[in-house]
Amino acid sequence: MIDSATLARLSLFADLESPQLLAVSELMDEESHPREARVLRAGISGTNFYVITDGEAAVRVDGKDVARLHAGDFFGEISILTGDPVLADVVAASEELRLAVLPGSRLRPLLLEHPALALRMLETMSRRLRATTLAG
């Protein structure tokens, strides 16, 4: 369980009314990781959905940092939605990385229950795709 006030600060959940936000917060857990701890592991299946509530994370491929994630950013959704193992490590890149965690199997039902949440996710994922395309 995580404090609903923590979720309320994140743009991903901005469209949820207070009672719904409380119900979602009951589904999620909170994790705290020290610097360099791995959260997502390349090649390992069964990942969960993570939203950064505080701190930073690095996306690491073959030991090289390729992107940096900040408070409000989410990860894990690609592996959950495609059913494929994770492609990159995600590693805590600040003294403390705090996360809201949703079990992977809960992501689809949650998005169906709250389409506004799905739209927010789609917008962010589209921006990421655009940035990747521009980067060539």
Binding site for other proteins (CB under 8 A): 1-3, 5, 18-20, 22-23, 25-27, 29-34, 37-38, 41, 43-48, 85, 96, 101-106
Shorter beta-carbon distance to other proteins: residue 1 or 134: 1
Is the Cβ of residue 43 or residue 136 nearer to other proteins in the bound state? 43
Output 19 or 136, the one with its CB closest to other proteins. 19
Which C-beta is closer to other proteins: that of 109 or that of 123? 109
To the nearest whole angstrom, how small is the minimum distance from the Cβ of residue 104 to other proteins?
5
Nearest distance, CB of residue 102 and other proteins, angstroms: 8
- Distances from the Cα of 114 to the Cα of 16, 39, 51, 81, 93, angstroms: 8, 26, 16, 16, 31
Q: Please, what is the minimum distance in Å from the beta carbon of residue 29 to other proteins? A: 7
d(CA 7, CA 5): 5
Instruction: Decide if 48 contacts 101 (C-beta within 8 A).
Output: yes
- On whether the CB atoms of residues 57 and 98 are closer than 8 A, the answer is no
Least separation, in Å, of the C-beta of 20 and other proteins? 6
